């Protein structure tokens, strides 16, 4: 219950402080679609930058691209998405409510004691892996799993439901053809594999990274920005020599976990989950799960995709997609290890870690503050600058400091309200540092710098502020 409240509190906080709004809110919103506000957009961009730079700047052998959302429709035929990108669904005949059958069973398992829940989930995994839809329906009926709305167990058969959104290109009806909104960014990398390899003169092993929007017609959209119909992915495909996939899979599992721990989140909040049911393209796959307020759930997938995608595109396009390996004098279709992380889920993770209602009450005074302990390098605003009063030349000095700092990092200026109130507003949006210009500044050129997490205040020479903040908020 406490955790459920925590998610509700995070959602309210995000709305109140300009991080995340429901889409088209004045029309009562659009289910499972969200808009990022002024601070959410900065936070999201900083996380995206951190991932992008970790991949393309910190690795000599990874380059980044930005492929279009629309792709030739045959891409999705070749990739298997037209035929296979579907989830097993079941409808309750009384409420007409549709469920993903695995979510329905997982929800039921959550109500059971641990040992029983484990057995239920193992049986479900087994049935899913075997694509045994009548077995799944039987299982739901045998366990007398009920619909949350109607309270009955009156279920339809289990059916597959394709998750891709389609639309049409071409203005004249006869010329129009169906195209899809991409359900993953990965295929934009595969179809550009040779373009990039040749123009960047990349030698295997090498990676291509990309961030961008993906779209899925999720049936059960829930848990805020965890599961959306329009979301953003950060994906990297690492092209390797066939036969080396096991070692590179282990390499990327370790490298990605290191990245996560580098966010300052403790190791016990993460775990690996190996896939029992492998996707049609994979020979090994696991998720990095994070302990969200609603339990451990997938944050990132690491997949050993074999040569499936390139081979499929080779077959459907009729174009060769092989690499000439000068070390062994051989042409081959490379194998691929994929790392695929949801940007929005990472935003939710950072917010879940950062959000705190801190009790500051003393014996004679009740007090508390809402704060976001966002890692300084990811904070939307790095430095807030306040003149203590609106007169005596203090605003001018504060604005001069802003001018000096703003080419380097995002600053915020405010002169209204008592200083304590201004600090609290910055705590709520996660600003790690505030600087106050006061009368002493005019005498000795020092300022008060106040730290968000500890609320400690210290004096520092005005001339050192820019460098200090840059040092404290740097990514690498
Ligand atoms: P799930 O099992 O939760 O539906 P998935 O296994 O289908 O996820 P992948 O296809 O591996 O997800 O996509 C890679 C990453 O993209 C996921 O780890 C997740 O972080 C993100 N992602 C996938 N679907 C969504 C969604 N609907 N909303 C937000 N992020 C998503």
Question: Rounded to the nearest whole angstrom, what is the distance from the C-alpha of residue 399 to the centroid of ligand 1?
Answer: 44
Atom of ligand 1 nearest to the CA of 216: 27
Given this model, what pLDDT does residue 139 score? 95
Residue 193, pLDDT > 90, answer yes
**From atom 8 of ligand 1, which residue's Cα is the shortest distance away?**
298
DSSP string, 314-354: HHHH-----EEETTTTEEEPPEEEEEEEEHHHHHHHHHHHH
Pairing of strands 206-215, 383-387: unpaired
Given this model, what pLDDT does residue 22 score? 96
Question: Rounded to the nearest whole angstrom, what is the distance from the C-alpha of residue 37 to the centroid of ligand 1?
Answer: 23
Residue 453, pLDDT > 90, answer yes
**From atom 16 of ligand 1, which residue's Cα is the shortest distance away?**
342
Band (pLDDT 50/70/90 cuts) for residue 93 is very high
Tokens 């695929």 belong to 340
Any ligand 1 atom below 6 A from CB of 230: no
Any ligand 1 atom below 6 A from CB of 415: no
Distance separating alpha carbons of residues 150 and 93, to the nearest angstrom: 9
Q: How far is CA 230 from CA 30, 83, 144, 225, 348, in A?
A: 11, 21, 34, 10, 15
Cα 3-230-271 angle, rounded to 5 deg: 45
Nearest to 299, CA basis, from 236, 355, 233, 351: 233
Band (pLDDT 50/70/90 cuts) for residue 281 is confident
**From atom 23 of ligand 1, which residue's Cα is the shortest distance away?**
342
* Residue 186 structure tokens: 């990965």
Any ligand 1 atom below 6 A from CB of 62: no
Band (pLDDT 50/70/90 cuts) for residue 87 is confident
Mean pLDDT, residues 388-406: 97
| H or E segment and range at residue 60 | none
Given this model, what pLDDT does residue 77 score? 94
Atom of ligand 1 nearest to the CA of 227: 28
Residue 280, pLDDT > 70, answer yes
Given this model, what pLDDT does residue 146 score? 94
Q: Is pLDDT larger for residue 389 or for residue 129? A: 389
Given this model, what pLDDT does residue 175 score? 62
Cβ 293 vs Cβ 11: under 8 Å: no
Nearest to 184, CA basis, from 59, 305, 292: 305
| H or E segment and range at residue 63 | strand 62-65
Distance separating alpha carbons of residues 32 and 217, to the nearest angstrom: 10
Per-residue pLDDT reduced to its tens digit, 400-448: 999 999 999 999 999 999 999 999 999 999 999 999 999 999 999 999 9
Per-residue pLDDT reduced to its tens digit, 49-62: 999 999 999 999 99
Verify cis geometry, omega within 30 degrees of 0, for the bond prior to 205.
yes
| Stated length of the chain | 476
Question: Rounded to the nearest whole angstrom, what is the distance from the C-alpha of residue 9 to the centroid of ligand 1?
Answer: 24
Nearest to 450, CA basis, from 392, 369, 390: 369
Distance separating alpha carbons of residues 470 and 452, to the nearest angstrom: 16
Three-state DSSP state, 100: strand
Q: How many CB atoms lie within 10 A of CB 298?
A: 16
**From atom 25 of ligand 1, which residue's Cα is the shortest distance away?**
227
Three-state DSSP state, 222: coil
Band (pLDDT 50/70/90 cuts) for residue 173 is low
**From atom 29 of ligand 1, which residue's Cα is the shortest distance away?**
227
Can you list the alpha helix ranges (DSSP code H) found in 240-295?
A: 245-261
* Residue 354 structure tokens: 């950062």
Distance separating alpha carbons of residues 452 and 461, to the nearest angstrom: 19
Question: Rounded to the nearest whole angstrom, what is the distance from the C-alpha of residue 65 to the centroid of ligand 1?
Answer: 21
Any ligand 1 atom below 6 A from CB of 303: no
Distance separating alpha carbons of residues 292 and 138, to the nearest angstrom: 31
Any ligand 1 atom below 6 A from CB of 286: no
**From atom 26 of ligand 1, which residue's Cα is the shortest distance away?**
227
Q: How many CB atoms lie within 10 A of CB 191?
A: 21
Question: Rounded to the nearest whole angstrom, what is the distance from the C-alpha of residue 377 to the centroid of ligand 1?
Answer: 25
Q: What is residue 463's DSSP assignment?
A: G
Cα 8-14-20 angle, rounded to 5 deg: 115
Any ligand 1 atom below 6 A from CB of 345: yes
Any ligand 1 atom below 6 A from CB of 87: no
Residue 389, pLDDT > 50, answer yes
The mean predicted confidence, pLDDT, of the chain is 95
Given this model, what pLDDT does residue 170 score? 78
Task: Name the least confident of 99-103, 226-230, 404-408.
Answer: 99-103
| H or E segment and range at residue 177 | strand 177-180
Cα 32-38-41 angle, rounded to 5 deg: 60
Band (pLDDT 50/70/90 cuts) for residue 1 is very low
Mean pLDDT, residues 124-140: 91
- The pTM (predicted TM-score) of the whole model is 0.90
Any ligand 1 atom below 6 A from CB of 300: yes
Domains of the chain: 3-71+180-351 (3.30.930.10), 86-162 (3.30.40.230), 381-473 (3.40.50.800)
**From atom 24 of ligand 1, which residue's Cα is the shortest distance away?**
227
Given this model, what pLDDT does residue 277 score? 77
Atom of ligand 1 nearest to the CA of 340: 14
Any ligand 1 atom below 6 A from CB of 341: yes
Tell me which of 36, 84, 231 to substitute to probe ligand 1's pocket, judged by most ligand atoms within 8 Å of the beta carbon. Answer: 231
Distance separating alpha carbons of residues 324 and 2, to the nearest angstrom: 57
Given this model, what pLDDT does residue 169 score? 86
Q: Give the end-to-end CA distance of the chain in Å, rounded to a whole number.
A: 39
Mean pLDDT, residues 82-107: 91
Given this model, what pLDDT does residue 131 score? 84
Given this model, what pLDDT does residue 276 score? 81
Residues 6 or more apart in contact with residue 5 via CB below 8 angstroms: none
Residue 133, pLDDT > 50, answer yes
Any ligand 1 atom below 6 A from CB of 183: no
């Amino acid at each position: 219950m406490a955790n459920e409240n925590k998610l509700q509190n995070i959602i309210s906080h995000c709305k109140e402080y300009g991080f995340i709004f429901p889409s088209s809110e004045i029309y009562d919103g659009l289910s499972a679609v969200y808009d990022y506000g002024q601070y959410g957009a900065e936070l999201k961009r900083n996380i995206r930058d951190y991932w992008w730079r970790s991949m393309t700047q910190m690795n000599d052998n990874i380059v980044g691209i930005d492929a279009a959302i629309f792709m030739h429709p045959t891409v999705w035929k070749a990739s298997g998405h037209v035929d296979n990108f579907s989830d097993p669904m079941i409808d309750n005949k009384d409420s007409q409510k549709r469920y993903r059958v695995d979510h329905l069973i997982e929800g039921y398992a959550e109500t059971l004691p641990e040992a029983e829940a484990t057995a239920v989930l193992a049986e479900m995994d087994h049935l899913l892996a075997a694509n045994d839809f009548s077995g799944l329906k039987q299982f739901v009926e045998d366990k007398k799993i009920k619909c949350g709305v109607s309270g009955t167990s009156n279920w339809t058969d289990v059916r597959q439901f394709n998750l891709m959104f389609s639309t049409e290109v071409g203005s004249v009806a006869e010329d129009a053809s169906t195209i899809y909104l991409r359900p993953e960014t990965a295929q934009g990398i595969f179809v550009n594999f040779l373009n990039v390899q040749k123009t960047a003169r990349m030698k295997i092993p090498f990676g291509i990274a990309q961030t961008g929007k993906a779209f899925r017609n999720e049936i059960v959209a829930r848990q805020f920005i965890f599961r959306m119909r329009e979301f953003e992915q950060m994906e990297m495909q690492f092209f390797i020599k066939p036969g080396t996939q096991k070692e590179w899979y282990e390499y990327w599992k370790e490298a990605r976990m290191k990245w996560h721990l580098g966010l300052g989140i403790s190791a016990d909040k993460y775990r690996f989950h190996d896939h029992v049911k492998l996707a049609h393209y994979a020979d090994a796959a696991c998720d990095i799960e994070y302990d969200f307020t609603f339990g451990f759930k997938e944050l990132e997938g690491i997949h050993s995709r074999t040569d499936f995608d390139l081979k499929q595109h080779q077959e459907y396009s009729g174009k060769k997609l092989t690499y000439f390996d000068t070390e062994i004098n051989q042409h081959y279709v490379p194998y691929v290890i994929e790392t695929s992380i949801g940007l929005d889920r990472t935003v939710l993770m950072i917010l879940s870690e950062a959000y705190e209602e801190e009790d500051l009450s003393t014996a004679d005074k009740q007090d508390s503050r809402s704060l976001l302990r966002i890692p300084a390098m990811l904070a939307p605003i790095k430095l807030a600058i306040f003149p203590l009063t609106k007169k005596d030349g203090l605003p001018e000095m504060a604005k001069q400091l802003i001018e000096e700092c703003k080419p380097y990092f995002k600053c915020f200026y405010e002169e209204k309200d008592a200083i304590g109130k201004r600090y609290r507003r910055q705590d709520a949006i996660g600003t790690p540092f505030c600087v106050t210009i006061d009368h002493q500044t005019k005498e000795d050129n020092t300022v008060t710098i106040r730290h968000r997490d500890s609320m400690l205040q210290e004096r520092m020479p005005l001339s050192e502020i820019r460098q200090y903040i840059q040092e404290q908020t740097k990514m690498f």
